[in-house]
Structure 1
Amino acid sequence: MDKKLRKLAMAFAMVIMIGFAGNALASKEVRFVYVPWTCVTVKTEVAQFFLNELGYDVSSMLLSVPIAYQALASDQADIFLGNWMPTMQSIAEPHFKSGKVESFSVIMENAKYTLAVPTYAYEGGLRDFSDIAKYGEKLEYKIYGIEEGNDGNEVIELMINENMFNLGNFELIPSSETAMLTQVQNFARNQQWIVFLGWSPHWMNKIIDMSYLTGSDETTFGGNDGTATVYINIRTGFDQEQPNVAAFLNNFLVPIAMVNEAMNMLHEDSAMEPLEAGLAWLRANPEIYRGWMDGVTTADGQPALPVIEAAMAK
């Protein structure tokens, strides 16, 4: 082989080696997307912690719900841990049907997501969706939601726009999670009536004396009075590209007790971080994270549990 051909062969070999190296690096990349809800933040940061300890290159992006799905569908993200169903169906279903996003596994069962009121309003007669319009004046014809683009807000807007439950005269008041709950607490101090978007797990259920309304149906917050199942969604093909991460996600069933306690800790201690709160609960309940490691390895193929036990002991 002459010098020119040898140089070409060496250059080609270098390109191949760089390509393999790039693929190896890419195989350790895991990209989460999450939304500004404390429960989703806790779960996402805990999952990131474990995957980082297992040797993966983990990143995350904070987005609104619709943009989170666009990120998954356009290969800008791999995993979303906050698909609350059935209320998120109108946003998620088009991406499932496109074949670009998959509902992968359950992450949390028996959650709650629907309209709520302070218990004094519930005891005063506002107990069902059909009761809201009766007390329009006391409610100032307002229903309080969370951030713009949220699926719960979309359900409320649908109810208003379609005059469901005679709510055509009502107005949705969008806000952040924190601002909405501050408003609810302010109203409660003065025994003012308010209808707001409530969910569990969340510290609101401990701090606010509140009751969930009955009467939702399949077109609103679901036929089981807002009882929800939360799913992990992934970019289509991610589980084949990352079978070990997929094994971890398949095991990653998060107890409501963990999220409730973590959120209570965060509410009581403003200096505490979501990851710190989640890990504190897991250290007291190690059987949960040990179950998450069943059949999982490090990114380099070593047993996962010894690595995680060492990390949790720090």
Structure 2
Amino acid sequence: MFASYNTNRLVTAVGLATCLLAGNAAAAVSTQCETVRFTDPGWTDISSTNALASTVLEGLGYSPEISILGVPIGFEGMKGNEIDVFLGNWMPAQQKFIDAYSAEGAIDIVGENLIGAKFTLAVPRYAYEAGVKDFSDLAEFGEQFRQRIYGIDAGAPANQLLQKMIDSGDFGLVEWRLVESSEHGVMSQVKRDIRRQNFIVFLGWEPHPMNSNFDMAYLTGGDKYFGADFGGATIQTVTRKGYREECGNVGKLLTNLKFTLQMENQMMAFILDDEQSPAEAAQKYLKANPDVLNSWLAGVTTLEGAEGLSAVQQHLGL
């Protein structure tokens, strides 16, 4: 009886210690994963998806952080364990980054979060109707275009593709110059030139409000550089290596996150046209379209392990 009593006490003590250790381990994991670090190249579409994801994460009890970093620096951040998530890997335009960092074992590809995007050179409708319908038509109208192609942020993979196109002499553009600028800078230039009926060729893409704000047309002939179907693209979610295993609950959310062209166009219009912050735009969109939360939060809990969907709904005041 005495021996059995002591044995039972020992088993109970060991069990209690195990529970305490497990609880401490869970707390450590929660603390480690509580801050979710996103990178944003400064593109409004990625600012939109980052804001949507961050709003949901806040409702789940996490603390998202967003760093504005060029694409190359963002990938280096994931490699160096300073960035957790990138929601904006445009494929195939950014294939070289995926190849390089996958080979180094620095990243994981979670999956596609958007399909049906496009990304290639575009012109105003009046330039298109004047005969600029293909990449091969640009050289003929070089004087009207001032031999300039407007790209996006310095260091962006798409700019590198355009510079390669110019340097190679493809389409007779060897004397042309690539003008690198921010998204806002390019759109301002396009708006000014359209108002003056000037010719301008620029990187266009969808999702983006430019598709409804400007009467524009995408050029054929750029398959070699941007891929078929007007640079038809898919957008991938990428994380630093091992992140989903370390932070499984956030990993589940990232796996569930799927966006649409209509969703992102609307978000971007809130930001660019209505001058709302990304966070304000996300709140507005999710309150108006709460059904998207059902699939996003399937199998996702709060940071503390409670049911996730109701927590986010409460956070949004739904």
Normalising to structure 2: TM-score of the pair? 0.89
CA distance in 1, matches of 2:141, 2:246: 54
1:283 equivalent in alignment to 2:292: no
CA distance in 2, matches of 1:264, 1:24: 35
Query: Could you give the per-residue CA deviations for residues 21-50 of structure 1, whole angstroms, max 9, x where no partner exists?
Result: 655411323211111011100110111111
Are the counterparts in 1 of residues 118 and 229 from structure 2 also a CA contact under 8 Å? Answer: no
Query: Could you give the per-residue CA deviations for residues 139-159 of structure 1, whole angstroms, max 9, x where no partner exists?
Result: 111100111011111111110
For 1:210, which of 202, 206, 216 is the aligned residue? 216
| Greater alpha carbon shift after TM alignment, 112-121 vs 163-172 | 163-172
CA distance in 1, matches of 2:299, 2:27: 26
Alignment partner, residue 170 of structure 1: 176
Alignment partner, residue 10 of structure 1: none
Distance 1:92 1:215, change over 3 A: same
Q: Which ranges in structure 2 are unaligned for 5 or more consecutive residues?
A: 1-22
SS of alignment partner, residue 226 of structure 2: coil
CA distance in 2, matches of 1:18, 1:278: 35
Which amino acid in structure 1 is aligned with residue 118 of structure 2? K
Alignment partner, residue 77 of structure 2: 71
For 2:266, which of 261, 265, 278 is the aligned residue? 261
Alignment partner, residue 38 of structure 1: 44
SS of alignment partner, residue 228 of structure 2: coil
CA distance in 1, matches of 2:228, 2:209: 25
| Structure 1 stretches of at least 4 aligned residues deviating more than 3 Å after TM superposition | 17-24
Q: Displacement, 1:302? A: 1.2
The aligned runs of 1:215-254 (5 Å cut-off) are 215-217=221-223, 219-254=224-259
Structure number with larger C-alpha Rg: 2
| Greater alpha carbon shift after TM alignment, 19-28 vs 178-187 | 19-28
Are the counterparts in 1 of residues 105 and 241 from structure 2 also a CA contact under 8 Å? Answer: yes
CA distance in 1, matches of 2:116, 2:26: 44
The aligned runs of 1:147-162 (5 Å cut-off) are 147-162=153-168
Q: Which ranges in structure 1 are unaligned for 5 or more consecutive residues?
A: 1-16
Q: Displacement, 1:275? A: 1.9
Q: Displacement, 1:224? A: 2.5
Which amino acid in structure 2 is aligned with residue 265 of structure 1? F
Alignment partner, residue 6 of structure 1: none
CA distance in 2, matches of 1:142, 1:262: 30
Identity of aligned residues (%): 37
The aligned runs of 1:102-117 (5 Å cut-off) are 102-117=108-123
Query: Could you give the per-residue CA deviations for residues 254-288 of structure 1, whole angstroms, max 9, x where no partner exists?
Result: 11111111212223322x11122223222222211
Q: Displacement, 1:309? A: 1.1
Q: Displacement, 1:18? A: 8.8
Alignment partner, residue 307 of structure 1: 311
SS of alignment partner, residue 225 of structure 2: coil
Q: Displacement, 1:61? A: 1.0
Task: Count residues with an aligned counterpart.
Answer: 297
Are the counterparts in 2 of residues 216 and 224 from structure 1 also a CA contact under 8 Å? Answer: no
Are the counterparts in 1 of residues 121 and 202 from structure 2 also a CA contact under 8 Å? Answer: yes
Are the counterparts in 1 of residues 86 and 237 from structure 2 also a CA contact under 8 Å? Answer: yes
